[in-house]
Chain A
Amino acid sequence: MSITSPGVLFVVSILAGFIGAMSGMGGGIVLIPALTLFGVNIKHAIAISIVSVIATSSGAASAYVRDGVTNLKVGMFLEMFTILGAIIGATVTLVSSDQPLFIAFGIVLLISWGTLFIRKHHLTNYLLPADRFSRWLELRGAYYDHAEHQEIEYQGRRAWLGGPCMFGAGFIAGLLGIGAGALKVLILDLAMGLPPKVSTTTSNLIIGVTALAGTSIYIAAGYVDPGLVAPVIVGVVAGAFVGTRLLKRLSNHAIRQFFLVVLLALGVEMILRGLGVIA
């Protein structure tokens, strides 16, 4: 771990936070491959990343929650499932060998990458009739959409399906030290029928608590190295901050496309390393 000087870590983390925000996939998914390229052991990289995920998700969630777009009830119901998944996922990582983690990471990266293309506006009516369980859970909500200049009302549906799926997303988050935001958004969108903005912001809220559940396992196992965590937290948050602000202004998607290619390359690279094709 000698090549990971705090200066290098700091720069890598800024880039990871920046690319994560620009591509909409979060910092961890770039940070972990980057750290392993710099010689950090993958389990340590996962532990460092999951701590930084708490910072980026809480920072982003604070603004979204105050805007009133996040659905707190949906978030708090689903957290029950994600934290259990995260604890089990992190425990599996501790006992696993390194190679399967590389492969799993590469696969999740590629799947998350793929979801960015299938995610289209598939619903125009968010008030479809819901099952009894979802109504009992009070998953109805509304927010003011500033882009469309109107109040959007919606009814969360199929909570019975969303809960178990979220256990899976939490498992991946704990296992690989990432937010797994792409998967969470997909569940909120497709399974529970929430409007895209509600899905994205509510996923962000859930990510922080999920990451904390995983972090506690990595701390207990002694994988959290404060000397490495310190520059990474600052770097990722700074990078994400700049990335988010820049994202609002960019109308052309060329840069975003470029980062998506970077993510694709990272996914393939992780799988090849896991298979032992490249060192």
Chain B
Amino acid sequence: MKPKHAPHTDPTPMPARAKLEREARQEHEMELLVGYLLLSGVLLSILLVVTGMAWEYVKTGSLHLNYLIAGMNFFQFLVGDLRAILTPSLIGPRAFVNLAIAALLFTPYIRVVSSMVFFAAAEKNWKYTAFTAFVGVVLTYSLFLR
């Protein structure tokens, strides 16, 4: 049996220690940023879906929105939807449900992009800036597919 997490003394010298503490603080800032980004994205999306469905119910007495997203990539979908939201004649349940889907899809996307900026600007960690950039590029590319 190995001892369960043996107590250890920290031999790290003071300047290195300060560096470690700074890194831990930055890491925690990033955790808060990522955590709140994810939470707000999901809440926003749920709120938009519920709004859209409630509107449809008031308008037609049914909760079912019958349409497909076809023949466009995510960014075309998003632009079309933002236009619908901003145009009084086009705004309606569909615009809200579409926006909810867009918000949901954007949640992990923005998480990746903001992590990349954080790794680059705050931590100057180029290794992880490159990793997150790779993920960001692949996701951007896949969202442009149609």
Contact surface of A with B, Cβ cutoff 8 Å: 5-7, 51, 54-55, 58-59, 61-63, 65-66, 68, 70, 72-73, 76-77, 79-80, 83-84, 87, 124-126, 136-138, 150, 152-153, 208-209, 211-213, 215-217, 219-220, 222, 224-227, 229-231, 233-234, 237
Contacts and interface: CB of A to CB of B under 8 A. Distances in A.
Chain A at the B interface: mostly helix, strand, loop or mixed?
A: helix
A224 B30 CA distance: 33
Contact of B139 (A126, A212, A222): A212
B74 A216 contact: yes
Contact of B2 (A62, A125, A211, A237): A125
A61 B41 CA distance: 12
A86 to B, nearest CB: 9
Contacts of B2: 124-125
Given A55-B45, A217-B145, A227-B66, A6 B53 contact: yes
A222 B76 CA distance: 13
For the complex of A and B, 5 pairs with smallest distance between CB atoms:
A222-B70, A66-B35, A6-B63, A62-B39, A62-B38
Interface residues of B, number: 62
A209 B111 contact: yes
Nearest to A54: B104
A104 B97 CA distance: 32
B105 interface: yes
Nearest to B53: A230
B14 interface: no
Given A58-B108, A61-B38, A153-B5, A80 B131 contact: yes
Contacts of A212: 105, 108-109, 139
Given A73-B128, A137-B127, A226-B101, 5 more contacts: A51-B104, A66-B35, A70-B31, A124-B5, A229-B101
Nearest to A145: B5
Interface of B: 1-5, 27-28, 30-32, 34-39, 41-42, 45-46, 49-50, 52-53, 62-71, 73-74, 77, 94, 97-98, 100-101, 104-105, 107-109, 111-112, 115, 127-128, 131-132, 134-135, 138-139, 142-143, 145-146
Given A68-B31, A213-B142, A234 B50 contact: yes
B69 A230 contact: no
10 contacts: A55-B104, A61-B35, A63-B39, A65-B31, A72-B30, A138-B127, A211-B108, A220-B145, A226-B65, A229-B101
